[in-house]
Structure 1
Amino acid sequence: MTSSIENYEYFQDDDCPLLYSEPYLYEIAERICEFCHEITNHEKPNMRSECRSACFSTDTFRACLNIFDTPISRRRIRSRHRI
């Protein structure tokens, strides 16, 4: 499997500045959308493109992030911010 960064031709039409400014963050966002698509493609066949749209700034992308979020990680984040 090649990475999104190596497969540049695939993303030439993508206007997402993340591809150029933060390529590794872009790669992580791509993987999140890919995994989310694998999980939900039987219900939503266009999940990957919906997840990627608007440079990963849609509610669909946030919903995909929530799939991989756990109550334990949310608790840790909240406890770090308590003073």
Structure 2
Amino acid sequence: MKTVKRVGASGQISLGKEFAGRTVLIDNTEPGVWVIKTAQTIPDSELWLHHPEAAARLDRAVTAMARPPEEADLDALEQHLRRDPHGSRW
């Protein structure tokens, strides 16, 4: 849908109340041509969550949380923890 808008004296364009408070991206593809898209921003401190490695780890964690708990073999765990990566004891 094409709409005609007039840029006001202050340089502003109203997109309508349905876009009030929204974040938009404005791409100036060439002089006189603007493409406006609604967007959601990600805080820098949360950006790591959107990297493929982090997303994969989060998916594994969510999958693991859905499984019923299992009884642990504490003796086997203790033996595993007492060995260093080269197989020697403490």
More helix by share: 1
Greater Rg by CA: 2
- Superposed pair shares fold, TM > 0.5: no
Highest RCO, 1 vs 2 (Cα 8 Å, sep ≥ 6): 1
State the TM-score, normalizing by the size of structure 1.
Answer: 0.25
State the TM-score, normalizing by the size of structure 2.
Answer: 0.24
More strand by share: 2
